[in-house]
């Protein structure tokens, strides 16, 4: 392998991804080539900085914070929610209407007699009725004999 080919494979060497024969060839080249050896050295320094040592320490606080946030917070319900209002109101209205209909069906109709009809039926003059400025004879109206002087 020439210098250019080896330089292309230096990172594969750093990753341990080369077959044994190529690895040995490149390692022996590094003994003689300052440029390639320098490149590997520089890369090692970059790796040290970016490597796993740069990761933060484990944090239980972080774990608990995440777990606390898993439960969605309850949003306050709106004061007037049309859907909730309808869900509450409709069954009650239906129940009330049904009760009203049932009671109307059960109640027997009563005969209502008008006062005028009653008075006319009991009047000796039959159905004739005249206006008089005098006060009516209450006894006559209710079937009692007229007081004779």
Partner 1 sequence: MTESSADDTLTIQRVHAGEKDAFATLVRKYEVRVRGYCMTTLRDAALGEDAAQEIFLKAYQGLKAFHGDSAFSSWLYRITVNHCRDVLRKASRRKSESWDAMLEREGETAEARLTGSADASERFEHAETLRRVLAELPESHREILLLRESQGLNYEELASILGCSLDAVKSRLKRARQEILSRSRHFLLQEDV
Number of residues that bind partner 1 (CB under 8 A): 29
Asked if residue 66 binds partner 1 (CB under 8 A), the reply is: yes
Nearer Cβ to partner 1 (3/84):
3
CB atoms within 10 A of CB 13: 20
Q: Does 59 sit near partner 1 (CB under 8 A)?
A: yes
Q: End-to-end alpha-carbon separation of the chain, Å?
A: 159
Residue (of 56, 3, 58) closest to 34 by Cα position: 3
To which H or E segment does residue 114 belong? none
**19 is an interface residue for partner 1 by CB under 8 A:** no
Q: Is 43 in the site for partner 1 (CB under 8 A)?
A: yes
The answer to whether 60 and 31 are in contact (CB under 8 A) is no
Q: Which stretch binds partner 1 (CB under 8 A): 10-18, 79-87, 90-98, 123-131?
A: 10-18
CB of 72 to partner 1, least distance (A): 9
Tokens of 8: 């292309």
Q: Write the CB contacts of 59 (distance below 8 Å, at least 6 apart in sequence).
A: none
Q: Which is nearer to partner 1, 37 or 120 (CB)?
A: 37
Q: CB of residue 56 vs partner 1: minimum separation in angstroms?
A: 5
Q: Counting contacts by CB under 8 A, is residue 73 touching partner 1?
A: no
């Amino acid at each position: 392998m020439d210098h250019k080919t080896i330089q292309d494979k230096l990172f594969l060497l750093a990753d341990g991804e080369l077959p044994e024969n190529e690895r040995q060839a490149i390692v022996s080249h590094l003994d003689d080539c300052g440029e390639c050896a320098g490149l590997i050295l520089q890369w090692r320094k970059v790796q040290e900085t970016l490597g796993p040592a740069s990761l933060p320490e484990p944090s239980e606080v972080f774990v608990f914070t995440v777990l606390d946030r898993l439960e969605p917070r309850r949003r306050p319900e709106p004061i007037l929610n049309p859907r909730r209002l309808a869900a509450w109101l409709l069954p009650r209205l239906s129940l009330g209407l049904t009760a009203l209909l049932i009671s109307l069906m059960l109640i027997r109709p009563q005969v209502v007699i008008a006062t005028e009809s009653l008075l006319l039926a009991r009047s000796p003059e039959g159905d004739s009725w005249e206006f008089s400025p005098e006060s009516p004879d209450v006894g006559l109206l209710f079937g009692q004999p007229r007081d004779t002087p």
